Each structure stands twice: as structure tokens, then as C-alpha cells.
Amino acid sequence: MIEPTERQRFLLALVVHEYARTAAPIGSRYLVEHYNLGMSSATVRNELAALTEMGYLRQPHTSAGRVPTEEGYRYFVGRLLQETHLPETLRHTIAHQFYQMGNDVDQWMRLAASVLAHQSRAASLVTAPHPEKARLKHIELISTRGRQVLMVLVIVGGEVRQRLMTLSEPVPQDVLSAAADSLTRQFQEMDAEAIRQARVELSALERDVLDWVVEDLERAESRIAGEIYLDGLTNVLAEPEFASSEEARRALRVLEERSRLQDLLARTVLATGTVGGVQVLIGGEGTWDELRQSSVLLAQYGVPGLAIGTLGVLGPMRMAYGRTISVMRFLSGLLSDLVAETLAEGD
Amino acid sequence: MIEPTERQRFLLALVVHEYARTAAPIGSRYLVEHYNLGMSSATVRNELAALTEMGYLRQPHTSAGRVPTEEGYRYFVGRLLQETHLPETLRHTIAHQFYQMGNDVDQWMRLAASVLAHQSRAASLVTAPHPEKARLKHIELISTRGRQVLMVLVIVGGEVRQRLMTLSEPVPQDVLSAAADSLTRQFQEMDAEAIRQARVELSALERDVLDWVVEDLERAESRIAGEIYLDGLTNVLAEPEFASSEEARRALRVLEERSRLQDLLARTVLATGTVGGVQVLIGGEGTWDELRQSSVLLAQYGVPGLAIGTLGVLGPMRMAYGRTISVMRFLSGLLSDLVAETLAEGD
DNA sequence: TGTTAGCACTCTCGAGGTGAGAGTGCTAAT
DNA sequence: ATTAGCACTCTCACCTCGAGAGTGCTAACA
């Protein structure tokens, strides 16, 4: 792909920016009238024609203004984008809200999704911090009624899993507690595999419980993300490109259907275009047909090796990349700090 | 409001049914041609005119067919609706899926939302079973790092709440366990109020923990519902009345915004129109402007006094009420059984 | 008295036509 | 290399208009 000249890059950025604002094709005259370009519309026309030739812009029809192509956006995001600086007051307000919230992960996630949706004016997604390797922290067994036992499993990193199991016969609470204690002591800090290999003398009850524990740990590991929080879905419905509702439907289905979401999240690691830790998928990148009109930004947060989560934004392809990326980086940092402080204090 | 004749009722039901199917105004000729009515279109015309006069039908414009009014729907739902019988095989399949899922409440909720969305072809909502009165079942304290302690609180009924707290100084795990045990023994089966009144000799640590426990129990009680599961949001985008996307936006916002949702759920008890335990809110009932074009069905499930949850469906006003209500009643029964079996076995 | 055939009337909806306006590419002059 | 000027193209909003659907009314009929 041919490299545009300095002036062409400038104009490309201008078109991207204006198109994001107005959602209408941008013409040469419009640019000259709204910016002090120091050149005439004819010159701009020539440059726009060149950019169109190169594949960065296109015309919806012969006599319309220009609109960025996917390639145009990629070039813009990869080379031209300059980070928007978030006002200090905004950073402050947001951080304050998080710290005011105490130590409730659930609330953090909800807040993060909300902030992200508002600031980007698009649909947002946040996954709860999730351990890469699930190591046992604590087992608790609580007799509920009859043969039913509630098993509470705490994983290193703070995730709590619960499960109701039915034993073959009733077991008194003190026996359950003793079993839980014993298992906790023996297998603390171990992951599923280690537990499975470390064969130790166990009672029938303990063996049963341990099977459940291993299964649960494995399940925790196999999940690609923790709980998923969505917000701002209706934001994308407000965008003109999704007015047809059919396009909106396709795009939002990606967020609603678990399997497709997993698919998308899996992509977080295999970067296509990365800007300061934020991955930018433009127009579905040829893989996701439902996202032909949309862009998805993904970023990770957390402490590698301990627990990581994902931030995501889904919006129209003409979204405000600069601002959104800034917000995502800021939030990612903030959440990483929170995770670090909460889970690793005293390490 | 004037009472329609038998024949008028029949025709009203027909119009409601056909309009739900086709989403297009229903004319007299159409009815005569598609049903063996034993009367001519002129007669039907007269009757439709009468129903229009009474306020049960309306014409979008002078020369269009008839469409049910809100009043028409209310009359239909309240007096004319006959329950659709769900095929035995379908009931079986659904029940089977639930029982196959083991004892995982999270999965049940997800499945319930999914089934409800699919069967009603609308947006569905399910809240997790939630105790009316939060009574303590079990406390567990787990030292994580340094002064951080994870408190796991089990509420009678099976709900588990977790919370991270920071102590003023590090406390070894065995002391924490002892405190948790002691507190569990002393306050088991008591609710927040009882605990607050039952002043007992406590250590400083125990007192701190107990404060958190009380607060958490109160928080659990004050919430009007457990965790909320949504599904099928994109279903409503497919309906022609929401093609404009603006209407869709308004309606879906009700589900997205927590406060409005609470508002709506609070209505579950104060029935407006009830059909076999399913409440039907048509066109926002004058209270929710965003739902002017929509209907919302709500039903409760669970074991009163132990734990209850809510099922909900949001769809276009012309939704298939018969089928949706049947599905909701079936699901409500199923979930109630599951809750009863799971939480109250041996009672 | 209730039902029905017939008919004039009204209204929507889509097809087809038209003109203003926007934006272009090209050419020739600077 | 830049720019003014201009012919050209295409969309879009706005018409008109006729087909079609559905109505309400009237008069005949059982």
C-alpha cells in the first residue's frame, strides 16, 4: 500500500475526525470552509482523489463526499492517531468513584462498564478479573438440609465458587467442617493438576469432595473470562448506521451470544492492531461478518499471573478512537491497580 | 365500557390473533377469506365498526383494517385469552435440560432466560431466587494477604455473599476460623434485626465482623431482586414496530437501566391484570412512557417465605400472549420446584 | 330485525418523474 | 504545483397519480 504524503495524512485524519462527528460524507468544500487549510478546494479535491486511489477513502456514490475505508481507519489508528488527553478532573472523578466503592469487585465491574459506555458513547463490556491458573485457597462445606451440602470454594486471587452437592447419606456439620479443614490444609495453593497427582490417604467423603473441587478448579481455568458485564447497548442503537435495526441486531447479537463473545475475547491476545495495549478490530477484520459496520476495541487489565480481565467497546466504525482508547487505557490502569492492591497486598 | 356480544368477542380475539401474526391491520374481507365465519364481510364490517366504537379496536387511517387498542388487549388478556397448551414433548425437553444441569443456580437462571426468550421470541428477564428475609446460615473468614480478610456469608436459602475487608492488624487464620465458628454458632438462623438486638459478649474482632455481617444481611434484604439475567434483547429489534430503532432504544433502556428495572419489578406484587399468576402490563399502563408500544409480562416463582424470584418478558404489544403466558407459568412451576427441592429438602 | 350485496368514497402506498444541490474530475490559466 | 471555472453525475426531497384495499352507507332480502 502506497504511503501518503504528509499533507494527505493530515487530510485523512481530518476526514476521519469530521466523519466521526457528522456521520455524513465529507466533501472538499466542507473542509476548506471549516478549517484554515491554506489551500483551495480544488487542491483538496486532488488530494482526496489520491487518497481514494490509494484505498484509504471511498465515495458512497459518484457525487458524494469521502468516507474512510476500513484501510483508512487502520492507517489512522495505527499511524495518525494522537491520544486524547483526558482532563485531570475527569480522571479524578472516575478514580474517586472507584475508591469510594470499597472492595466490592461486583460494583467495580458495574462501574467500569458504565463509565466506559458513557465515555465512549458505545456499548461496553467488562469481564471480572479471572485467575489464569486456578489455585485452591480454601474449602468450606456447609450442611444445608438432609443430604445436601453447599461447597464454597475460594480460589487464590479471590474468586469464590459455590456448588450444591447431594451426598449418599447425611453427614453432620462437624464432620463436614473437619473434612473441609483437612482438605484445605493438604491442598492449599495447589492447582487442579497438582491436586489430581498428589494422591493422599483420604476418607470416602473427602475423596468425593475433592473430585468436585478438582472439577470446579478446572472449570474456573477453562473459562476464558470471569463474569461478563455489559452496558450501553442502547447507545449503539442511537447511531445512524444502526438505524436500520437489522444491522444493529447483528452487531448486538455478538455481545448477547455467549459463544461469539468468547470467540471475540479470545482474540484479545492475538493482536491485529495494537495501540498502547488496546486492540482495535475494525469492521470485523474479515472474520466476524456481523461486525462489518462496527469496530471493537479490547484491552486487558489486571496482574499477569494472578488475575486478568478484559475491557471492550463495541461501536460504529466511525467511533471516536482517540477518546475511547484513552479512556480504556485509563480504566485499565485503574482496575489493574485495584486488582493489585486488593489481591496482592503484602506480597 | 360496553360489553361486546359473543360474536364481537370472537371477532376481537380473531383480530388480536391475526394481528399478532401478521403485524398488519386486519380487514373484514381478510377475516372472511381466512376463516369459515358463516357470515359476509359486510356483517363483519358492522361488528368491527361496533368494536371500534366501543374502543377495543382502532383504524390507523380511514381506509385501513383494524388494530387492537390497549383496551382491546386488556379485554383480550383478561377475558378472552385461552391458555395455549404446551406440547408435552416441549415441556419434557425443557424440564430435562434443567434437571441435567445439576444444582447450579447460575446455570438455571441462564437457561430459564434463554428458554423464555426463545419461546416468546421477545426479550426475557430472570432474577435469581432471593430470600425475603435474610437469615444467617454460615460465616467463614479466610485470610488472604496481610490484613485482608475475605468474608464469605451464606444465607439461609443458599445465597452466598462475599466481601473483602481490611483489619487494623493481621490476624492468623486459626483465630479467624475460631471467630467465624463462634459467630456462626451464636447467630445461626437469625436475621439482621435479631442479631443487632441479641447483644452478646464478643471480642473486638468478632464485633467488627458482626457489623459487616449485619450490614450485608440488610443489603441482601433490601435488594428487591437477586442477580438479573437478560436474554433475547435482539429479538425485539426484529419486530417491525421497533424497526425505527428509536422506539427500540426506549424500550430496551428499561431493561438496561437498573433503576427503571427495579421500578418495574416492584410492580410484580401490585397486580394490574393477572392471569394465573402472570401479570400483564400493556403499553406501559400509563406509567412507563418508554413502554408505550410494548407489553411486559411478569411472574414470580419460588417458595414464599424462603426465596422468590421473578420472570419477565418484554415484547411488542401484539405479542403472542397465550403462548408466552403458558411458557411463563410452566417455567415458574419448574423453577419453584427446583428451588423447593434444592433449598428445602428434608424440611 | 339481522344479514348481505353493491357501490361510492377515502386513504395509503409505490412507481415514475423532476429539479435543486452537492460534489466531483478535468482543463486551462497562473 | 495550485487554482478558478465549468460541465457532468448522482442523490434526495418532492411531486403526481393510479392501483388497491378497506371502509361506511343504502337498499334489498330472509
Check if A243 contacts B (Cβ < 8 Å).
yes
Same domain as B205, residue B70: no
> Which of these, A47, A51, A52, A53, lies nearest to A32 by C-alpha position?
A47
- CA–CA distances in Å: residue A115 to residues A112, A316, A328: 5, 18, 10
Whether A215 is in a domain gets the answer yes
| Cα separation, A22 vs A34, whole angstroms | 13
Reading phi first (left if > 0) and then psi (alpha if -120 to 50, else beta), residue B233 is in alpha
Whether B1 is in a domain gets the answer no
Whether B73 is in a domain gets the answer yes
B65 touches strand D (CB under 7 A): yes
Long-range contacts of A17-22 (CB under 8 A, 24+ apart): A19/A67, A19/A68, A19/A318, A20/A318, A20/A319, A20/A320, A20/A321
Mutate which of A138, A155, A163 to disrupt the B interface (most B C-beta within 10 Å)?
A: A138
CB contacts of B148 in chain A (<8 Å) are 342, 345-346
> Which of these, A172, A208, A148, lies nearest to B341 by C-alpha position?
A148
- CA–CA distances in Å: residue A116 to residues A140, A299, A346, B215: 36, 12, 31, 30
- CA–CA distances in Å: residue B226 to residues A131, B143, B155: 25, 27, 13
CATH number at residue B74: 1.10.10.10
Same domain as A208, residue A173: yes
**Which bases of strand D have any atom within 7 Å of the beta carbon of a protein residue?**
2-5, 8-11, 20-26
Which amino acid is residue A295, in one-letter code?
S
Same domain as B116, residue B68: no
Which amino acid is residue B274, in one-letter code?
T
B residues 151-170 closer than 8 Å to A (CB): 152, 154, 158, 160, 162-166
Whether A1 is in a domain gets the answer no
Contact B157, B343 (CB under 8 A): yes
> Which of these, A18, A1, A25, lies nearest to A78 by C-alpha position?
A1
A42 touches strand D (CB under 7 A): yes
Cβ of A160 and B150 within 8 Å? Answer: yes
Query: Considering A222, A256, A276, which residue would you say is the last residue of a domain?
Result: A222
A7 touches strand C (CB under 7 A): no
| Cα separation, B168 vs B207, whole angstroms | 13
- CA–CA distances in Å: residue B227 to residues A173, A229, B23, B262: 29, 12, 34, 12
Same domain as A60, residue A168: no
pLDDT in tens, A15-50: 999 999 999 999 999 999 999 888 989 999 999 999
> Which of these, A300, A313, A292, lies nearest to A339 by C-alpha position?
A300
pLDDT at position B115: 98
Domain enclosing residue A155, as ranges: 136-222
Whether B169 is in a domain gets the answer yes
What are B52's three cell numbers? 371500534
pLDDT in tens, B311-343: 999 999 999 999 999 999 999 999 999 988 876
pLDDT at position A343: 67
Write down the residue that cell numbers 497427582 correspond to.
A197
| Residue A8 CB-half CA count within 13 A | 19
The C1' atom of C2 and the CA atom of B18 lie apart, in whole Å, by: 27
A202 touches strand D (CB under 7 A): no
The C1' atom of D9 and the CA atom of A39 lie apart, in whole Å, by: 25
Whether B239 is in a domain gets the answer yes
Whether B301 is in a domain gets the answer yes
- Containing A97, the helix (H) or strand (E) segment is helix A88-100
Split into its structural domains, chain A has a count of 3
pLDDT at position B54: 94
Look up residue B4 and give its DSSP letter: P
Query: Considering B189, B222, B255, which residue would you say is the last residue of a domain?
Result: B222
Residue A96 neighbours by CB under 8 Å, 6+ apart: none
Same domain as B280, residue B252: yes
| Cα separation, A27 vs A64, whole angstroms | 7
pLDDT at position A269: 61
Which amino acid is residue A124, in one-letter code?
S
3-state secondary structure of B103: coil
Find and give the residue nearest to D2, measured CA to C1'. A43
Gap from B121 CA to chain A (nearest CA, Å): 14
A residues 174-213 closer than 8 Å to B (CB): 177, 181
How confident is the prediction along chain A (347 residues), in pLDDT tens digits per residue? 688 999 999 999 999 999 999 999 999 999 999 998 889 899 999 999 999 999 999 999 888 899 999 999 999 999 999 888 899 999 999 999 999 987 788 899 999 999 999 999 999 999 998 887 888 999 999 887 778 888 999 988 778 888 888 888 889 988 999 999 999 999 999 989 999 898 788 888 999 999 999 999 998 887 777 789 999 999 999 998 888 778 889 999 999 998 888 888 887 665 445 555 899 999 988 888 999 999 999 999 988 877 888 999 999 999 999 999 999 999 999 999 998 887 654 43
Same domain as A332, residue A230: yes
Regions of chain B short of the pLDDT cut 70: 1, 268-276, 343-347
Whether A278 is in a domain gets the answer yes
CATH number at residue A240: 3.30.450.40
> Which of these, B40, B46, B65, B34, lies nearest to B8 by C-alpha position?
B46
What are B98's three cell numbers? 434443567
Same domain as B160, residue B73: no
Which residue is closest to B138 within chain A, CA to CA? A142
The C1' atom of C24 and the CA atom of A273 lie apart, in whole Å, by: 33
The C1' atom of C11 and the CA atom of B27 lie apart, in whole Å, by: 14
DSSP string computed for B140-166: EEEE-STTEEEEEEEETTS-EEEEEEE
Write down the residue that cell numbers 428445602 correspond to.
B344
3-state secondary structure of A129: coil
Q: Among A142, A242, A343, select the one facing B154 at the smallest CB separation.
A: A142
Same domain as B207, residue B115: no
Contact B79, B72 (CB under 8 A): no
Find and give the residue nearest to D9, measured CA to C1'. A63
Query: Considering B80, B110, B145, which residue would you say is the last residue of a domain?
Result: B80
pLDDT at position B243: 81
CA A267 to chain centroid, in Å, comes to 10
> Which of these, B259, B267, B254, lies nearest to B293 by C-alpha position?
B254
Same domain as B52, residue B155: no
Strand runs labelled E in B156-306 = 160-166, 228-231, 274-275, 278-282, 294-303
Q: Which ranges in B23-160 belong to alpha helices (H)?
A: 28-34, 41-54, 70-75, 88-100, 105-120
Which amino acid is residue A316, in one-letter code?
P
Same domain as A250, residue A143: no
Which nucleotide's C1' is closest to A62 (Cα)? D10
Same domain as A337, residue A237: yes
pLDDT at position B346: 40
Cβ of A142 and B138 within 8 Å? Answer: yes
Same domain as A63, residue A191: no
Q: Is the dihedral of CA A262, A265, A270, A273 positive or negative?
A: positive
Q: Among A140, A165, A233, select the one facing B103 at the smallest CB separation.
A: A165
